[in-house]
Amino acid sequence: MAENNVMDKLSSLAKRRGFIFQSSEIYGGLNACWDYGPMGVELKRNIKEFWWRSMTLLRDDIEGLDAAILMHPKVWETSGHVAHFTDPMVDCKKCKGRFRADEAVSGRCPKCGGELTEARQFNLMFKTFMGPVEEEAAIVYLRPETAQGIYVNFLNVLVPSRQKVPFGIAQIGKAFRNEISPGNFIFRMREFEQMEMQFFVHPKEDEKWFELWRQERMKWYHQLGIRKEKLRFHQHGPEELAHYAKAAYDIQYEFPFGWQELEGIHNRTDFDLSRHSQATGKELSYFDEPTKERFIPYIIETSAGCDRTLLTVLIDGYYEEEVKGETRSVLRLAPPIAPFKAAIFPLVNRDGMPEVATKIYDALRKKFKIFYDDKSAVGRRYRRMDEVGTPFCLTVDSQTLQDETVTIRERDTMQQTRHKISELAGILQKKVEI
Ligand code: ATP
């Protein structure tokens, strides 16, 4: 399949099958904002759950947080976002196109080759007003990252949770960036969701923890079922490093439009806590009881994009295959994140099959997201489930009525095997377990 074709095919499948729609589509759409439909919202929830589980459920040293999107405007001055969260922007004098300066590598307009203006700094933060008066003093920002909500809550989380450094705080939430050149479907959006974990460590242990989190995060993408050969690290050179960072790696995926960042892992030193402490006069250092040492923790940040991960699993899992002279489109999503875990079909709508199928459906739906389908030929029902990534289809047929078994058809191999109805919940549980 031609590489540029994949994005077109995926965005059309995403719309047709209810994964992703353009925001406000009937009004002509709002650029770089997207809505998740019935399949998309399940997939997204499952990805977030997969992350949350790995960060909080399976670890004793990480606590969860859900901070407000709107924060005190001084937070963004202290963090450096008001002054530095900018991209250089250029305008084309001929076609009036607007680009990030780094997209116009030749120094001419990437669209029409026209002459460009001098680069101007453009701040990516969205502003709004708090309270009824639209005046300067009432300006607040829509957060451009979730991390600051974690830093300002460092002590609030530390004290009641009785954690000791090293420990981390995890948060999933919306972030907003007025990107100059959004695009590539949901790759670069203006409203998106981040999954961030900030790990607080002793300054002398920063390199050890940085290395550990770098490896852990790569493992997470492997567990998500993404092909290993499509993932790599990209180390930031001195010219790429953010002003606050001592070291940084991106985890990149090979998208149809090239290798691009999926997640950033940064050693942010004591920059954040020191700055917030200076700005507020609040003591944000940590006292280590056993060593009687007081220090400002270093922060190891792992910052992932939920929407970008979702796009990646769609791209990575999308296959077209020739089966009996027909093209089968299939989404090979890992079972733990698939929107439906299984579908249940009565082979035909008579002879007591719908009754048995409904009974199985009612029993399984308490534990798993299951789809019941009794319309059209069974082959078409399989195809529809393949396209939304349902890993298993259970079919009730005439044999079921005699021996209480059903067929389980696996999405990837299309192999069918027979199993006792009483064993289905256990089999599914094992297959979809994280
Ligand atoms: P870029 O250089 O591509 O603008 P960044 O380095 O600014 O990205 P970070 O600030 O490190 O990105 O954000 C962490 C993660 O959040 C990214 O790896 C990505 O997965 C996600 N992310 C950032 N910006 C966007 C966006 N506009 N749309 C969707 N996801 C995004």
- DSSP states along 304-317: EEHHHHHHHHHHHH
Is ligand 1 within 6 A of the CB of residue 87? no
Nearest of 14, 37, 34, 38 to residue 24 by alpha carbon: 34
d(CA 94, CA 326): 48
Say what the pTM is: 0.95
Is ligand 1 within 6 A of the CB of residue 381? no
Rounded to the nearest whole angstrom, what is the distance from the C-alpha of residue 66 to the centroid of ligand 1? 19
Neighbours of 137 (CB within 10 A): 9
Contact 61, 168 (CB under 8 A): yes
d(CA 10, CA 6): 6
Neighbours of 254 (CB within 10 A): 17
Q: What is the pLDDT of residue 132?
A: 84
With 90 as the cut, is the pLDDT of residue 242 above it? no
Is ligand 1 within 6 A of the CB of residue 189? yes
Average pLDDT over residues 404-429: 97
Rounded to the nearest whole angstrom, what is the distance from the C-alpha of residue 145 to the centroid of ligand 1? 9
d(CA 406, CA 421): 6
- The total number of residues shown for the chain amounts to 434
Rounded to the nearest whole angstrom, what is the distance from the C-alpha of residue 211 to the centroid of ligand 1? 21
Residue 203: asked if its preceding bond is cis (omega within 30°), the reply is no
d(CA 180, CA 10): 24
Determine the Cα angle at 152 with ends 149 and 156, to 5°: 105
Contact 199, 178 (CB under 8 A): no
Is ligand 1 within 6 A of the CB of residue 103? no
**What sign for the dihedral angle of Cα 275, 280, 285, 286?**
negative
Average pLDDT over residues 62-90: 95
Q: What is the largest CA-CA distance in the chain?
A: 78
Q: What is the pLDDT of residue 103?
A: 85
Q: What is the pLDDT of residue 201?
A: 98
Nearest of 401, 408, 412 to residue 425 by alpha carbon: 408
The best mutation among 308, 309, 311, 313 to test binding of ligand 1, ranked by most ligand atoms within 8 Å of the C-beta, falls on 308
Distances (CA, A) of 337 to 39, 49, 94, 219, 353: 11, 9, 47, 16, 29
Q: Counting atoms of ligand 1 from 1, which one is nearest the CA of 309?
A: 20
Q: What is the pLDDT of residue 170?
A: 98
d(CA 141, CA 126): 6
Is ligand 1 within 6 A of the CB of residue 304? yes
The two beta strands, 405-410 and 416-420, are antiparallel
Determine the Cα angle at 23 with ends 18 and 27, to 5°: 115
pLDDT digits (tens, 9 = 90+) for 94-152: 998 888 888 888 889 988 999 999 998 999 999 999 988 877 778 999 999 999 999 99
Is ligand 1 within 6 A of the CB of residue 386? no
Bridge partner list, 291: none
Q: What is the pLDDT of residue 3?
A: 58
HSE, CB side, 13 Å, CA atoms: give it for residue 320: 11
Rounded to the nearest whole angstrom, what is the distance from the C-alpha of residue 305 to the centroid of ligand 1? 7
Nearest of 84, 88, 85 to residue 105 by alpha carbon: 88
d(CA 297, CA 176): 28
Average pLDDT over residues 417-424: 97
* Token couple for 7: 């994005």
Is ligand 1 within 6 A of the CB of residue 177? yes
CATH topology of domain 340-432: Rossmann fold (3.40.50)
pLDDT digits (tens, 9 = 90+) for 45-54: 999 999 999 9
Minimal-distance CA residue to ligand 1 atom 22: 305
**What sign for the dihedral angle of Cα 131, 132, 133, 134?**
positive
Contact 105, 113 (CB under 8 A): no
- For the chain, the domains span 3-70+144-314, 340-432
Rounded to the nearest whole angstrom, what is the distance from the C-alpha of residue 182 to the centroid of ligand 1? 11
With 60 as the cut, is the pLDDT of residue 174 above it? yes
The two beta strands, 405-410 and 392-396, are antiparallel
d(CA 217, CA 235): 14
Average pLDDT over residues 310-335: 95
With 70 as the cut, is the pLDDT of residue 294 above it? yes
Contacts of 242 (CB under 8 A, 6+ apart): 248, 266
CATH topology of domain 3-70+144-314: BirA Bifunctional Protein; domain 2 (3.30.930)
**Mean pLDDT for the chain overall:** 95
Q: For residue 2, what pLDDT band results from cuts at 50, 70 and 90? A: low
- Residues of the chain with pLDDT > 70, as a percent, come to 99
d(CA 375, CA 262): 39
Rounded to the nearest whole angstrom, what is the distance from the C-alpha of residue 19 to the centroid of ligand 1? 21
Is ligand 1 within 6 A of the CB of residue 301? no
Is ligand 1 within 6 A of the CB of residue 276? no
Pseudo-torsion of CA 205, 206, 209, 210, nearest 10°? -160
Contacts of 361 (CB under 8 A, 6+ apart): 344, 370, 372
Least confident of 62-71, 111-120, 264-273, 413-422: 111-120
